[in-house]
């Protein structure tokens, strides 16, 4: 019986080190092979980051390393200029090992829309963008759906979408003739084919092989059939397969989550090769359920998407494009796929807002990204000319950092000294966040600066400065 493959947490740096060239040449950016091996098993580096291992002389070791480190859920990419990468999961729970490859969100257009409406919707999808704690969150793909069943019309819609964006495409039709028309237009762009079913699998498999495109195997509500379909497609020589076990809204949602979870458990716990593939969630399906009214459908689609992203969709197709429906998905995805061991942080140091003079206020905050960008936004909207000193708190928020002593009087005194602020201003007052008020006395002692206690919520900074700056004692 074949030996069960090691899970990522069972692979030790020694397992990787033994297969590296072991010359300690440093070309990978760390001093020696053992340090590189540690980075690889922590998911902080990839094997290809070691240039010598790519030489012909290490071919065998390279293949064995890739086999050792291959995730139980296959990585699949679609698109060409811009690509979407899905799958690549090692574990069920994100605290075991940071999730890789955030699920792309595709928004649909359909071939019954007139050309101007298709172009306008594609433009809206491609330009959707939201700045969130220093990152730009965007949508990732376009799903072109055939609803007319007319091959020529589908081909034209695909052409129009392709001419309007370089986002990766998902072509959606169960009719092989319609799909063929789409692939004749977009086949060279490696779109994802949706979908091969128990009825059309032979023709869809031929198209997937001919155009070299990944394909979705769809068997809504029937995991046994889905396994059989995957086995059949694999026998046709297709390896890039995405699973669609069906997305059911409303009372079917619990069953949907059960199916997604069963598939991911089979992949990550049992190493099941038939289910070791990315899963497609289709929250868009709520629009074909009972008539609820547009806003109720959007609401249902939004919570379905969030639930499926959590358990365990690797790709989502949605219909709603309203900010209140899509934004929560983007922000939740960001949180879910951030390394839980490393809070999102910004660089510590001095930030300058507006044109501060020598009497400008000086404020303190932590280097937790969410805190920093909230404070920054509040300072900007209050149109303040001031200095902000960001203290290294290990990426913790002010309250947590004070509780854990990551923000203390000595650190604040050191940050004030190192920032060079003393040369820029004529006073010695610094505003501490309200949540760090209890550090006031000791900070005055450690730094020699006078403390003003700021608001507990940074939205109050503007009011504080307008009403209480400069401090009375100076005048």
Contact residues toward ligand SF4 (CB under 6 A) are 20-21, 23-28, 32-33, 36, 50-53
Q: Among candidates 169, 13, 149, which has minimal Cα distance to 84?
A: 169
Cα–Cα distance between 373 and 34 in angstroms, integer? Answer: 37
Q: Is 280 helix (H, G, I), strand (E, B) or coil?
A: strand
Minimum distance from residue 20 beta carbon to ligand SF4 (Å): 5
Sign of CA dihedral 389, 390, 392, 397: positive
Minimum distance from residue 51 beta carbon to ligand SF4 (Å): 6
Question: Based on CB atoms, which residue is closest to ligand SF4, 11 or 425?
Answer: 11
Minimum distance from residue 219 beta carbon to ligand SF4 (Å): 44
CA count, 13 A, side-chain hemisphere, 242: 32
Q: Are strands 105-110 and 315-318 parallel, antiparallel or unpaired?
A: parallel
Minimum distance from residue 4 beta carbon to ligand SF4 (Å): 28
Cα–Cα distance between 331 and 334 in angstroms, integer? Answer: 5
Burial of 271 (0-12, 13-18, 19+ CB in 10 A): middle
Instruction: Give Cβ neighbours of residue 108 (< 8 Å, ≥ 6 apart).
Output: 142, 143, 144, 145, 172, 284, 317, 318, 319
Question: Based on CB atoms, which residue is closest to ligand SF4, 31 or 115?
Answer: 31
Minimum distance from residue 160 beta carbon to ligand SF4 (Å): 47
Question: Based on CB atoms, which residue is closest to ligand SF4, 54 or 262?
Answer: 54
Cα–Cα distance between 337 and 94 in angstroms, integer? Answer: 8
Minimum distance from residue 40 beta carbon to ligand SF4 (Å): 9
Q: Is the peptide bond between 239 and the residue preceding it cis, with omega within 30 degrees of 0?
A: no
Question: Based on CB atoms, which residue is closest to ligand SF4, 34 or 203?
Answer: 34
Question: Based on CB atoms, which residue is closest to ligand SF4, 25 or 352?
Answer: 25
Question: Based on CB atoms, which residue is closest to ligand SF4, 28 or 181?
Answer: 28
Strand spans (E) along 282-346:
315-318
Cα–Cα distance between 415 and 275 in angstroms, integer? Answer: 52
Question: Based on CB atoms, which residue is closest to ligand SF4, 36 or 260?
Answer: 36
Q: Among candidates 152, 212, 217, 146, which has minimal Cα distance to 175?
A: 146
Question: Based on CB atoms, which residue is closest to ligand SF4, 29 or 255?
Answer: 29
Minimum distance from residue 91 beta carbon to ligand SF4 (Å): 25
Minimum distance from residue 66 beta carbon to ligand SF4 (Å): 15
């Amino acid at each position: 019986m074949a030996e069960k493959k090691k899970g990522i947490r069972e692979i030790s740096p020694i397992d990787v080190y033994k297969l590296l060239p072991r010359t300690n040449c440093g070309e990978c950016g760390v001093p020696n092979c053992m340090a590189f091996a540690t980075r690889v098993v922590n998911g902080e580096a990839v094997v290809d980051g070691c240039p010598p291992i790519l030489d012909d002389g290490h071919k065998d070791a390279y293949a064995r390393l890739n086999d050792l480190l291959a995730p139980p859920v296959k990585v699949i990419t679609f698109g060409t200029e811009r690509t979407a990468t899905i799958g690549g999961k090692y574990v069920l729970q994100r605290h075991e090992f940071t999730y890789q490859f955030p699920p792309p969100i595709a928004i649909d257009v359909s071939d019954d829309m007139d050309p101007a409406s298709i172009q306008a919707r594609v433009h809206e999808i491609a330009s959707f963008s939201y700045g969130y704690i220093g990152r730009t969150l965007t949508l990732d793909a376009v799903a072109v759906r055939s609803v007319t069943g007319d091959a020529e019309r589908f081909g034209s819609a695909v052409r129009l979408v392709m001419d309007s964006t370089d986002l990766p495409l998902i072509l959606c039709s169960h009719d092989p003739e319609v799909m063929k028309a789409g692939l004749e237009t977009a086949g060279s762009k490696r779109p994802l084919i949706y979908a091969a079913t128990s009825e059309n699998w032979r023709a869809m498999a031929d198209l997937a092989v001919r155009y070299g495109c990944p394909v979705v195997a769809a068997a809504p509500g029937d995991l046994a059939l889905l396994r059989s379909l995957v086995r059949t497609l694999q026998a046709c020589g297709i390896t890039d397969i995405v699973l669609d076990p069906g997305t059911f809204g409303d009372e079917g949602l619990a069953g949907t989550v059960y199916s997604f979870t069963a598939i991911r458990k089979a992949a990550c716990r049992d190493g099941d090769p038939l289910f070791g593939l990315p899963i497609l969630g289709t929250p868009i399906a709520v629009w074909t359920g009972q008539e609820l009214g547009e806003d109720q459908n959007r609401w249902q689609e939004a919570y379905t998407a969030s639930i499926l992203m959590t358990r365990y969709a690797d790709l989502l197709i949605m219909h709603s494009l309203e900010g209140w429906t899509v934004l929560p998905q983007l922000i939740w995805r960001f949180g879910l796929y951030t390394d839980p061991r490393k809070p999102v942080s910004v660089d510590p140091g001095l930030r300058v807002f507006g044109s501060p003079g020598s009497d400008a206020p000086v404020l303190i905050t932590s280097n937790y990204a969410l805190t920093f960008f909230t404070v920054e936004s509040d300072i900007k909207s209050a149109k303040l000319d001031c200095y902000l000193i960001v203290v290294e708190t290990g990426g913790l928020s002010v309250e947590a950092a004070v509780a854990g002593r990551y923000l203390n009087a000595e650190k604040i005194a050191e940050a004030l000294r190192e920032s060079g602020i003393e040369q820029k201003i004529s006073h010695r007052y610094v505003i501490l966040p309200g949540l760090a008020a209890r550090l006031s006395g000791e900070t005055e002692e450690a730094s020699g600066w006078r403390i003003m206690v700021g608001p507990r919520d940074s939205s109050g900074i503007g009011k504080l400065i307008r009403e209480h700056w400069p401090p009375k004692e100076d005048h």
